[in-house]
Amino acid sequence: QITLKESGPTLVKPTQTLTLTCTFSGLSFSTSGVGVGWIRQPPGKALEWLALIYWDDAKRYSPSLKTRLTISKDTSKNQVVLTMINMDPVDTATYYCVHTFYYDSSGPRAFDIWGQGTLVTVSS
């Protein structure tokens, strides 16, 4: 059974850097095809895809946020870390960690497992 859990600060100040950690179980980056990503949702608004990292360290970012995001993985700790620089009140949202998979024969999968999410508020 795959589980993912997000952790990090609940409150950050404008201009600060946000660092979120996704800790997972039931999967490993040692397995070819595994991917873990981040999605956010401002209160009362739609979902927004942020970033994705695969077992082979391939990374993908939202074009609109690419200059502010960095995603990395620690295979030994079963963790994925997302950093977002220069936080603004509009970045207030629930941030979700998600699992996906990439099959060489058939391409990417949808996000089949989601973490519970963590609410991050940006305010001075």
Partner 1 sequence: DIQMTQSPSTLSASVGDRVSITCRASQSINDWLAWYQQTPGKAPRLLIYKASSLQSGVPSRFSGSGSGTEFTLTISSLQPDDFATYYCQQYKNYSPYSFGQGTKLEIK
Q: Which residues in this chain contact partner 1 in the complex, by CB under 8 A?
A: 46-49, 52, 60-63, 96, 100, 107-112, 114-117
CB of residue 81 to partner 1, shortest distance in Å: 20
CB of residue 21 to partner 1, shortest distance in Å: 17
Task: Give the span between the Cα atoms of 69 and 18, in whole angstroms.
Answer: 10
| Of 62 and 92, CB closest to partner 1 | 62
| Of 16 and 23, CB closest to partner 1 | 23
Bridge partners, 72 (sequence order): 81
CB of residue 103 to partner 1, shortest distance in Å: 11
Residues composing the chain: 124
| Of 62 and 79, CB closest to partner 1 | 62
Task: Give the span between the Cα atoms of 92 and 94, in whole angstroms.
Answer: 7
Non-local (6+) Cβ contacts of 102 within 8 A are 33, 35, 54, 108, 109
